[in-house]
Structures are given as C-alpha cells and as structure tokens.
C-alpha cells in the first residue's frame, strides 16, 4: 500500500483514512499490509501494518555497517530490511541527491517541491516492489499513483487506486494540468478504482473518462472516540442549560468549503435571535474576506474565528457546539460531520458532499440554499426535540459506520480484482 | 346472508407552504395554494369523479341493492368547494339515489381524539353539521381520522350520542376473533363497532394492480367467491379504504372501476347483499366487546399511532399544538379557527416520521422528516404567537374563562335590558300620540290636566336613561372582580 501521510502526523484527511483502511484490512485476519510512507517518524501505530520509510530505502549502493544503519534508521525500520532492499537496486542513481546511506530525504507533508518528491517516491517504489512479495498494489491519492504504476510494471500485480479527492473538487473545475495528467495516468493504469463517494465516482467517470465498471464507491468510516476524547466530549452541558447556542463551521476556510454561505445563513439567524454564536474553526485563504464580510453585515460580535484546530482542540470545539455545519460546495467525502455526530453534535451538511450519501440522521441542504440552512440552524437552536433526536440517533448511526465494514468491502473488491487478473 | 359494508374515506390534506423562521410574525398565510389546487384537481379528475360516476351508475342499475358509505373531512370539503365543486355535486346526486350514508368524522382529520376531548367534540359537531347542510341527514355513525380507536375514544363517542363507529380489524387487538362480526365498545355497549377486514380491503386498495401478486389479476367473481366461502356464521364483511385507491393508488388503466362495477352482480349470484354501517348496526346483534386500551389505527404494519407520534419530534409538535387548544376553542376569529383545522391534520405529523418504510413514502414538499418538522414548528410558532396575542399567556386558562364568562353574561344582561328599553320606549310612543291628540280638543281649559299627562311620560323617559348610566358604571366594576 502506498500512502503519503499517517497518524499521528496529520496534514489533511488522508492520514486518518489511511489508518482506518489499514486497521480495517488487518481486521480481516488474512491480509498483511506493507505501507510505504515518504517520511515516517517512528511513532506510528504499527499494529496493523508493516511501515516502510521511503527515506530509508537505498537506491544507491553504500557499504555501511550494521551498527551505523541501526543508529541512523533503527527507529523507522530494521537494518536487515535495509540490506534486503540494497540487494534490489535496479539502476545507478548516484547522480541523485542521495545521502551517506544511499537514500533520499523527504520533507514530508506538502512542500514546494512536491512534484520532485512524487518522482523520487516512485523511484524508490521500484526498489521496494522488486524486494517484497505481494498480491495487490493499493495506491492512495494522486501523489502515490506514479509509484503504484511503477510497482505494477515491475511486479505485474494488479493496481488498485483509491481516490480520496480529485483536482476537480479542489479547484472547482480549473484543474492544474500536471496534477490532472498524473491522476488520469494513474486511473488509466488502474485495474480497480475505489472512490470515497458516489459523487467522486461520477467525477472520475465523467471527467477522467474511466470505465464505470472498474469504479466503485468506497465510503469512509470513523473510529470510535478514544477514551480521552470521549472524556472531553462527555463534559458537554445539557441542552437546556446552554443559554447561548453555538453553531460551528470546521475546516479550511477556502472556496471549496463554502464559508460565505455560512455567513449568509448566520446573518439570517441573527436577524431573528441574539442568543446564537457562530464559530469558524479553521484557517485558509478566505479567512480575511470572511471576517470582513461578517463585519459588513454587522454580525462580527457574534462570529468568532479561533483559527486552525487540531487533535483535542477539535473535540473541545465540538463539546461546546450545538450545531455543526458543513456547507461545502464540493466535498469528496468529508469526515468531520461524522466526528461531530460522534461527539453528539447534530449536523447540517450540504447535499454536495460525499458523506451525505451514507448519513441519514442529519439535515441536508443544498449549499446555495441559504434560507434552508438558516432555517435548519434556527430550528436546531430552538427546538429541543429535534436537537435531541438528531443527537441521539446521529450518534447511533455513526457508531454503525466502522472501518471493519469498509475493510470487508475492500477485501471483496481485492478478491474480484485478483480473480479477473 | 352475508353482508358487505363498503366505505370510502375522502380526505385531502391542505398543504402547508415553505415557511422559513424569519417569516414568523410577518406572514400569517400558511398554505401552498398552487399545490392544493393541483393536488385536489388531479385527485378529482383521476379518481373522485370517475369513481363517483361509477357509483351513481351502479346505484341506478341496482337500486337499493347497492349500498355505500362515505366520510369527508372538513379540510377535503373546503378544497373541493374551492377547486372541484363538481365532486360535491356528484356526491349530492349519489345521495339522491338513497343508497349512501355519510359518516361523521373530525373536521380536521387530526389527532385530537388522543389529546383533547373538547376539541374532538367541537370538530365532530362542525363536520356533522356540514354533512347535514350538504346531504340533509345528520350522521349517526362516526369514523375517527385513520380509524384511530381506543376504549377511551369509544366511551367519548358513545357519550356524544353516536350509535356506531368504524375501526380497524387489527390483529393485535382482535387476536383469535374475526372481524366479520359486529362488536361493541367495552366502556359502553351502546356503541357498536364495525371492524375493517384489512386483507380483503388491501386486496383492492394496495394489491389490485400488482402483477407480482399471486392472485393477479383479480376478478370480481373470484373476490366474491372468497367472501361466499367464509364460514357460515361470519356475516359481515367490512371493506374500508380511501376513495383515492380507485384511480390513484390503483390506476384507472388497471380497470379497477370495472371490477367495482361488477361487484353487485357477482354478489347477487352468491346471495351476498350490501348495507350501510347504520343499517348493519340496526339489524345485527353485537357478539362481544372489543378491548383496546391503546389506540389502534389503519396505518402501517403496526396499526397504531407510531407513524404520527413515533419519535420525539412528532410528540413535541403534537404537545405544542394542543397546548393552545383551549384558547383556540374560546376564540371566535375565523382565520384562527380555519388555520387551526389545517395545521391539526394528521398528514403534517406523518411527514415527520422516521420509521423505515417498505414502500416509498410521500413527503410532500419536504425532503426529510427534519425539514418537515422545522417547517411545521415555524408555522406553529407563528400560530401560537397569534393566539397569545389575542389572549395573553400570563393569564391562566381558568381565569380567562371566568373573565370571558363575565363578559358574556354582561352581554346577555345588556341585551335583556335593551329589550326592556325598547319595550318601554314603544309604550311611551303609544302614550305620546294620545297626549297630542287630546291637546287641540281640550286646549286652554284643561291646562293642569295636560301638565299631569306630561309628568308620567317624562318619568318613563328618565327611567331607562338612569338605568343605562347605572349599568355603565357597573361594568368596569364587574370586570376586575374575578381577578380579586
């Protein structure tokens, strides 16, 4: 499996999905996963999969002794593996920027030279593919598609790619041609395409010209809350004791997430009541514009911008919220409403998000239907019965969406794929 | 001799419009006129009119051998009056043949029987009055909205003077008993119960056009054979459904009307007759009582009230709605009472159901139960505000009643006194011409006599005036009395 990020070092939603899928597959019992990451930190959870650090796989021969290797990369993988990989170097890469171990460094995350890193990643993938024995290749998101294609060509095993987002979602149609070509190339070579929602599947079929027969919707899931997070969430005040209601938006404040619709709806709610507050948790290129917009509407005193939230902070926000809103214009999946519902916050989500396909106990509106959104916010803030119903039933529903079930479905697709291959 | 009792419900919901919370207090009109007109004209054209024409034809062919019963909700009647008056004309034409009985039902087709006795009484009275106006006969048999029945409701209906009621033959209530007998209410044996045979009813209303059903296609003689083959003692077959079943649920293209038309002839061959509910009640003896401590209805597989009051949202809306019931009853504002009827309709609660449905659920303009709830609560919020504006919510209901009684009594008193005044004034007028007539004859000679005649007249004129001022003074005193 090729991935780019993995908890606890989270840059975006991809990390959690990778972790969940690894756990879900592990739960099947007879699947072993080797997960290749560009730059693991050594503190990842390795219970479900074997992690290969691409920054410690040699691509140029260096004569180094065991202790030195142990000292250098021991926290990431064992020196035995290093030597095993060293046996399978397939070309002379000395002209590249390799270090004293013959490995390439990765910055991790999403640096400026991303395209170069993607290329390096796929070079190393060739070494790994020649060394390891495997049945199927699973590549997550466009960053790892070249690596997946390379591994497929080396090993002749089927390639499954997992589309977590497409450039059409990120750019609202103004795609970056380089990114598009990488995505398109990956999809063309794939034997099976898993999309995080039907919405994404349609994009893949219509904008990337893929055969619908090899595209499948594979919705994400959530993990049950960790005890320490549950503890935070349990401190929520009962509805009737919360004199001021808090409506929360959580995510990057960018065009894709539709923050301006949230402000418009907030304006309509505040015209009517004054015991509601609106919270914008997140940062992004539209943040300043949003602050200005709130000020222009004269509701700045009721809108709060606490900035980017991570880890525990997210759940502290959920604990203090009464309504969670995700007005995304286009959302391949959107895992945060599931987390909100897990924390007992009723959610309003846009119909243009992938998670709307599997959620039922939440309110769905069109992202542009500001009136409907405002109405739903007002209703949740004033009708205890609706709030209670969605709180209780929403939690129940999300608790039924598990990675184990996703793992099972992925497993079935693997089987199908291998049968045909 | 086996008897078939055919009954059809005519009810159409008055659709509420999309009502956002920021309209609360600004807009007091709640209805979706377009949808109402479209809905009722479509139903009338595709179902009511062809079905009623068929019934008229049948009544003319078979005379008194064919009998059928209807009940019409007040809401449906209003819609029909506004948009499809020909349906009412057809009903009257059918009524003239003498083979129809009209039943009483709550005006709004709402759930008041589960909550508020006074509202229920009021609604039924109004609907029965309307039936009397339109069809010339006061109903003696009642059917509750969606056949909701429980022991308490039975007791209430019996006290209202109805002889019979129709209800669902729900399995969980009947147990081993058969619906093919006449039963009575366990609270009051004078109230007879006719129970629906849901199998035979649903064969027509749900399955008739279903080609995957093993009895498809169903013919009238097969259907009558089933009835004829029932055990000897089972004499009454109650087939109740909505009138829309003929034409909407089962399209006209399925020849359902031909099927209905053929029923009386096939029945006659097998010695089966038709009767209206009140005829059955008059001529049959009840065999046993029915115990239904919890309300049952003809809806869904559960045959209970869960599709209206199954989740917290529905119960909240229901409680909120009836929290102002007493005030609305006091109120004489016609717009408020009309709106009250429309928002009470059970359909509004049905839209909020979260029960998993095997068949596609019709939700009107709403795309989810939450949407339906939000919209309804917005409207209800505005409605309650309007009621509270009439009668401030700080005053207790009892106190309000006392005040209103005082005002009403004073009104009565004033009326009595006004009568007295006019009586005295007319008497005074009688005296005056006499006095005038005497004047020229007796001229100067009887001057003292004239003065004497004037005196009593003046007295009479003074008297009511004095009374009036006294009353005016008494009025403000009387009002604060109950407060103290």
- Partners of A376 on chain B (C-beta within 8 Å) are 370-371, 374
Note the pLDDT of residue B148: 95
Q: What's the pLDDT at B474?
A: 45
In the stretch 329-388 of chain A, residues with CB closer than 8 A to chain B read: 363-364, 371-372, 374-376, 378-379, 382-386, 388
Q: What is the pLDDT of residue A157?
A: 93
Residues 6+ apart with CB under 8 A from B285: B182
Predicted local confidence at residue B436, as pLDDT: 65
pLDDT-above-90 percentage for chain A: 62
Q: So what's the pLDDT on residue B439?
A: 60
Interface of B with A in 338-377 (CB under 8 A): 354, 367-368, 370-371, 373-375, 377
Q: Do domains A13-221+404-420 and A227-399 have the same CATH topology?
A: yes
- Best of B23, B312, B352 to disrupt the A interface (most A CBs within 10 Å) is B312
Any idea what the Cα angle at residue A333 is, between residues A331 and A339, rounded to 5°? 110
pLDDT band at B442 (very low <50, low <70, confident <90, very high): low
Listed residues B283, B306, B329: the one ending a domain: B306
Question: What is the token pair recorded at B48?
Answer: 């009511």
Mark whether B424 and B302 lie in a shared domain. Answer: no
In this structure, of A45-59, B191-205, B258-272, the range with the lowest mean pLDDT score is: A45-59
Task: Choose from A270, A376, A378 for mutation: most chain B CBs within 10 A.
Answer: A378
Q: Is residue B401 in some structural domain? A: no
Of the residues B374, B376, B379, the best mutation for testing chain A's interface (the one with the most A CB atoms within 10 Å of its CB) is B374
Q: B222 by DSSP, 3-state: which?
A: helix
To test the contact with chain B by mutation, choose from A351, A370, A386, A391 the residue with the greatest count of B C-beta atoms within 10 A, namely A386
pLDDT top residue among A48 and B192: B192
| Distance between CA atoms of residues A26 and A29, nearest Å | 6
Task: Report in angstroms the alpha-carbon separations of A260 from A256, A267, A288, B430.
Answer: 11, 11, 12, 84
**Res A271 pLDDT > 70:** yes
A183-188 average pLDDT score:
94
Candidate from B24, B313, B374 with C-beta closest to A376: B374
Residue B421 has what pLDDT?
92
A317-331, B311-325, B398-412: which range is least confident on average? B398-412
Q: How many Cβ pairs within 8 Å bridge chains A and B?
A: 59
Q: What are the φ and ψ backbone dihedral angles of B367, each rounded to 5 degrees? A: -100, 0
Summarised one tens digit per residue, pLDDT across range B71-100 is: 999 999 999 999 999 999 999 999 999 999
Is residue B31, in this structure, part of any structural domain at all? yes
Ranking A301-315, A335-349, B102-116 by mean pLDDT, the lowest is A301-315
Cα angle B454, B458, B464 (rounded to 5 degrees) comes to 155
**Neighboring chain A residues of B367 at a CB cutoff of 8 Å:** 364
pLDDT at position A265 is: 95
- Using the beta-carbon criterion (under 8 Å), do A383 and B313 form an inter-chain contact? yes
Q: Could you tell me the residue ranges of all domains in chain A?
A: 13-221+404-420, 227-399
Reduced 3-state DSSP string for chain A:
CECCCECCECCCHHHHHHHHHHHHHHCCCCCCCEEEECCCCCCCCCCCCEEEEHHHCCCCCCCCCHHHHHHHHCCCCCHHHHHHHHCCCCCCCCCCCCCCCCCCCCCCCCCCCHHHHHHHHHHHHHHHHHHCCCCCEEEECHHHHHHHHHHHHHHCCCEEEEECCCHHHHHCCCCCHHHHHHHHHHHHHCCEEEECCHHHHHHHHHHCCCCHHHEEECCCCCCCCCHHHHHHHHCCCCHHHCCCEEEEEECCCCHHHCHHHHHHHHHHHHHHCCCEEEEEECCCCCHHHHHHHHHHCCCHHHEEEEECCCCHHHHHHHHCCCEEEECCCCECCCCHHHHHHHCCCCEEEECCEHHHHCCCCCEEECCCCHHHHHHHHHHHHHCHHHHHHHHHHHHHHHHCCCHHHHHHHHHHHHHHHHHHC
pLDDT digits (tens, 9 = 90+) for A396-421: 999 999 999 999 999 999 999 999 87
The DSSP annotation for B395-420 comes to S-HHHHHHHHHHHHHHHHHHHHHHHH
Residues of B with Cβ-Cβ distance to A379 under 8 angstroms: 21, 370, 373-374, 377-378
Interface of A with B in 267-306 (CB under 8 A): 268, 271-272
Residue A215 has pLDDT above 50, yes or no: yes
User: Residues of A with CB below 8 A from B20's CB?
Assistant: 371, 374-375
The CATH label, of 3.30.2270.10, 3.40.50.2000, 3.90.1150.10, 3.30.230.70, for the domain at A13-221+404-420 is 3.40.50.2000
Confidence of residue A304 (pLDDT cuts 50, 70, 90): very high
- The answer to whether B373 contacts A364, with C-beta atoms less than 8 Å apart, is no
Question: Do both B448 and B299 map to the same domain?
Answer: no
**Percent of chain B whose predicted confidence (pLDDT) is above 70:** 89
Calpha distance B342→B123 (Å, rounded) = 12
Largest CA distance in chain B: 113
- Determine the number of helices (DSSP H) and then strands (DSSP E) in chain B: 19, 12
Q: What is the mean pLDDT of chain A?
A: 91
- Cis ω on the peptide bond leading into residue A5 (within 30° of 0)? no
pLDDT value of position A420:
84
Confidence class for position A17, pLDDT limits 50, 70, 90: confident
Cis amide linkage into residue A8, ω under 30° from 0? yes
Distance spanning both ends of chain A, measured CA to CA = 18
User: Is some CB atom of chain A closer than 8 A to the CB atom of B20?
Assistant: yes
Distance to chain A for B87, nearest Cα, Å: 37
Residue A241: the pLDDT is 85
Find the residue in B nearest to A370 (Cα). Answer: B20
Identify all chain B residues contacting A385, using CB atoms and an 8 Å cutoff: 312-313, 315-317, 373
Q: Tell me which of B253, B276, B306 is where a domain ends.
A: B306
pLDDT of residue B81: 94
Reported ipTM: 0.82
Measured between CA atoms, the residue of chain A closest to residue B310 is A389
Residue A4, pLDDT > 60, answer yes
Is the pLDDT score of A9 beyond 90? no
Distance between CA B370 and CA A80 in Å, rounded? 59
Residues of B in contact with A268 (CB under 8 A): 22
**A363, B22: Cβ pair inside 8 Å?**
no
**Confidence (pTM):** 0.82
The pLDDT tens digits for A76-93 are 888 999 999 999 999 888
Mean pLDDT for A215-242 is: 89
The pLDDT of residue B447 is: 52
Q: What is the pLDDT of residues B244-253, one digit of tens each?
A: 999 999 999 9
Give the model's confidence band at B477: pLDDT under 50 very low, under 70 low, under 90 confident, else very high: very low
Token code pair at residue B208:
């008739």
Confidence label for A171 from pLDDT (cuts 50, 70 and 90)? confident
> Any idea what the CATH number is for the domain that residue B115 is in?
3.20.110.20
Q: Provide, rounded to the nearest whole percent, the portion of chain B with pLDDT above 90.
A: 74
User: Which pLDDT band, with edges at 50, 70 and 90, does B471 fall under?
Assistant: very low
pLDDT of B466: 45
Is A378 in Cβ contact with B21 (below 8 Å)?
A: yes
- CATH T-level fold of A227-399: Rossmann fold (3.40.50)
C-alpha span between B237 and B274 (Å, rounded): 9
Distance CA A116, CA A107 (A): 11
Question: In the numeric block, which tokens belong to residue A63?
Answer: 């004569």
Average pLDDT over residues A168-182: 86
Average pLDDT, stretch A50-59? 91
Average pLDDT (B315-323) is 94
Residues of B in contact with A323 (CB under 8 A): none
Task: Give A33→chain B minimum CA distance, Å.
Answer: 39
Closest Cα to residue A76, out of A112, A32, A108, A29?
Answer: A108
CB atoms B354 and A393 under 8 Å: yes
Average pLDDT in the B388-398 region?
Answer: 79
Q: Is the model more confident about A111 or about B448? A: A111
Residues belonging to chain B = 484
Contact map slice: B 372-401 vs A, CB within 8 A: 373-375, 377-378
Residue closest to A332 by CA, chosen among A219, A221, A223, A191? A219
Query: Can you give the pLDDT at residue B483?
Result: 43
User: What whole-number distance in Å separates Cα of residue B13 and Cα of residue B109?
Assistant: 8
SS3 B384: helix
**B341 belongs to a structural domain:** no
Tokens of B188: 């009051």
Domain that holds residue B469: 419-483
Please count the structural domains in chain B: 2
DSSP E strands, B59-191: 68-72, 100-103, 141-143, 164-168, 183-185
Which residue of chain B comes nearest to A265, CA vs CA?
B22
Closest partner residue to A389 (CB to CB) among B24, B311, B377 is B311
Best to test chain A binding among B370, B373, B381, B385 (most A CBs inside 10 Å)? B370
Pick the last residue of a domain from B259, B285, B306.
B306
Tell me, yes or no, if A92 comes closer than 8 A to chain B by beta carbon: no
What's the sign of the alpha-carbon dihedral B11, B15, B21, B27? negative
Cβ contact, residue pair A375, B20, below 8 Å:
yes
Mean pLDDT lowest among A28-42, A236-250, B38-52, B439-453: B439-453
At residue A136, the pLDDT reads: 94
Which residues of chain B does A386 touch, with a Cβ-Cβ cutoff of 8 Å? 313, 316, 370, 373-374, 377
pLDDT of residue A74: 87
B112–chain A Cβ distance below 8 A for any pair:
no
Per-residue pLDDT at A5 exceeds 80: yes
- Taken in order A389, B16, B157, B64, the sign of the CA dihedral is negative
Between the alpha carbon of residue B67 and those of residues B72, B112, B196, the distances in Å are 17, 30, 16
Q: Do B21 and A383 touch (CB under 8 A)?
A: no
- The answer to the question of residue B314 being in a domain is no
């Amino acid at each position: 499996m090729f991935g780019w990020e993995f908890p606890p070092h989270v840059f975006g939603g991809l990390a959690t999905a990778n972790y969940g899928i690894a756990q879900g597959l592990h739960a099947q019992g007879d699947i072993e996963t080797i997960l290749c990451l560009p730059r693991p930190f050594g503190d990842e959870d390795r219970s479900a999969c074997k992690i290969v650090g691409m920054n410690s796989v040699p691509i140029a021969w260096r004569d180094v002794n065991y202790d030195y290797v142990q000292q250098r990369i021991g926290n990431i993988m064992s020196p035995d593996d290093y030597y095993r990989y060293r046996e399978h170097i397939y070309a002379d890469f000395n002209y590249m920027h390799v270090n004293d171990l013959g490995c390439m460094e990765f910055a991790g995350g999403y640096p400026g030279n991303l395209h170069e890193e993607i290329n390096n990643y796929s070079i190393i993938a060739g070494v790994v593919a020649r060394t390891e024995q495997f049945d199927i290749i699973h590549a997550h998101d466009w960053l790892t598609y070249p690596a997946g294609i390379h591994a497929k060509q080396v090993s002749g095993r089927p390639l499954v790619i997992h589309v977590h987002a497409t450039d059409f979602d990120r750019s609202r149609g103004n795609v970056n041609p380089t990114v598009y070509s990488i995505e398109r190339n990956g999809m063309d070579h794939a034997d099976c395409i898993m999309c995080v929602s039907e919405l994404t599947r349609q994009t893949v079929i219509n904008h990337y010209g893929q055969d619908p027969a090899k595209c499948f919707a594979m919705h994400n899931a959530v993990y049950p809350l960790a005890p320490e997070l549950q503890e935070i969430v349990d401190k929520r005040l009962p509805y009737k004791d919360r004199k001021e209601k808090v409506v929360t938006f959580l995510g990057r404040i960018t065009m894709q997430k539709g923050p301006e619709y949230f402000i418009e709806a907030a304006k309509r709610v505040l015209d009517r009541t004054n015991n509601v507050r609106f919270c914008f948790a997140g940062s992004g290129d539209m943040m300043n514009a949003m602050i200005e917009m709130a000020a222009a509407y004269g509701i700045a005193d009721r809108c709060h911008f606490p900035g980017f939230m991570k880890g525990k902070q997210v759940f502290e926000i959920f604990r203090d919220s009464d309504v969670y809103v995700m007005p995304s214009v286009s959302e391949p999946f959107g895992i945060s409403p599931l987390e909100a519902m897990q924390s007992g916050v009723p959610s309003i989500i846009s119909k243009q998000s992938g998670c709307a396909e599997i959620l039922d106990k939440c309110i769905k509106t069109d992202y542009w239907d500001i009136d409907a959104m405002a109405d739903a916010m007002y209703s949740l803030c004033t009708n205890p019965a609706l709030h209670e119903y969605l709180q209780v039933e929403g939690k129940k529903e999300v608790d039924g969406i598990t990675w184990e079930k996703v793992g099972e479905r992925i497993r079935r697709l693997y089987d199908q794929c291998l049968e045909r291959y | 001799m086996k008897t078939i009792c055919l009954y059809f419900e005519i009810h159409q919901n008055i659709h509420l419009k999309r009502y956002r919370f920021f309209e609360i207090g600004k807009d007091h009109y709640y209805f979706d006129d377009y949808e109402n007109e479209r809905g009722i004209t479509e139903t009338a054209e595709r179902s009511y009119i062809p079905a009623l024409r068929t019934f008229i034809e049948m009544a003319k062919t078979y005379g008194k051998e064919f009998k059928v019963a209807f009940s019409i909700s007040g809401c449906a009647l209003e819609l029909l009056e506004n948009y499809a008056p020909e349906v009412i004309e057809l009903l009257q034409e059918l009524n003239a043949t003498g083979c129809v009985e009209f039943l009483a039902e709550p005006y709004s087709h709402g759930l008041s029987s589960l909550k508020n006795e006074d509202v229920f009484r009021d609604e039924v009275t109004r609907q029965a009055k309307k039936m009397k106006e339109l069809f010339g006969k006061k109903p003696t048999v009642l059917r509750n909205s969606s056949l909701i029945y429980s022991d308490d409701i039975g007791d209430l209906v019996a006290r209202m003077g109805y002889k019979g009621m129709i209800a669902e033959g729900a399995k969980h209530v009947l147990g081993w008993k058969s619906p093919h007998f006449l039963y009575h209410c366990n609270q009051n044996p004078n109230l007879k119960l006719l129970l629906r045979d849901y199998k035979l009813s649903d064969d027509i209303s749900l399955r008739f056009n279903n080609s995957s059903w093993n009895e498809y296609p169903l013919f009238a003689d097969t259907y009558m054979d089933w009835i004829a083959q029932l055990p000897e003692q089972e004499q009454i077959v109650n087939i109740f459904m909505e009138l829309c079943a003929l034409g909407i649920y089962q399209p006209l293209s399925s020849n359902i009307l031909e099927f209905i038309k053929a029923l009386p002839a096939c029945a006659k061959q097998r010695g089966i007759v038709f009767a209206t509910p009140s005829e059955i009640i008059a001529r049959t003896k009840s065999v046993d009582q029915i115990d239904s401590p919890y309300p049952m209805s003809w809806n869904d597989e559960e045959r209970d009230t869960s599709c209206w009051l199954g989740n917290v949202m529905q119960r909240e809306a229901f409680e909120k709605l009836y929290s102002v019931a007493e005030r609305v009853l006091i109120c004489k504002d016609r717009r408020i009472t009309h709106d009250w009827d429309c928002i009470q309709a059970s359909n509004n609660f049905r839209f909020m159901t979260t029960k998993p449905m095997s068949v596609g659920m019709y939700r009107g303009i709403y795309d989810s139960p939450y949407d339906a709830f939000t919209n309804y609560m917005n409207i209800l919020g505005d409605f309650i505000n309007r009621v509270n504006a009439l009668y401030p919510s700080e005053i207790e209901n009892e106190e309000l009643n006392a005040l209103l009684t005082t005002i009403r009594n004073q009104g009565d008193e004033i009326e009595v006194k006004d009568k007295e005044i006019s009586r005295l004034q007319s008497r005074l007028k009688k005296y005056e011409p006499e006095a005038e007539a005497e004047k020229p004859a007796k001229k100067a000679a009887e001057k003292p006599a004239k003065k004497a005649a004037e005196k009593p007249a003046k007295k009479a004129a003074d008297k009511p005036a004095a009374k009036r001022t006294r009353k005016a003074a008494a009025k403000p005193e009387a009002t604060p009395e109950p407060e103290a």
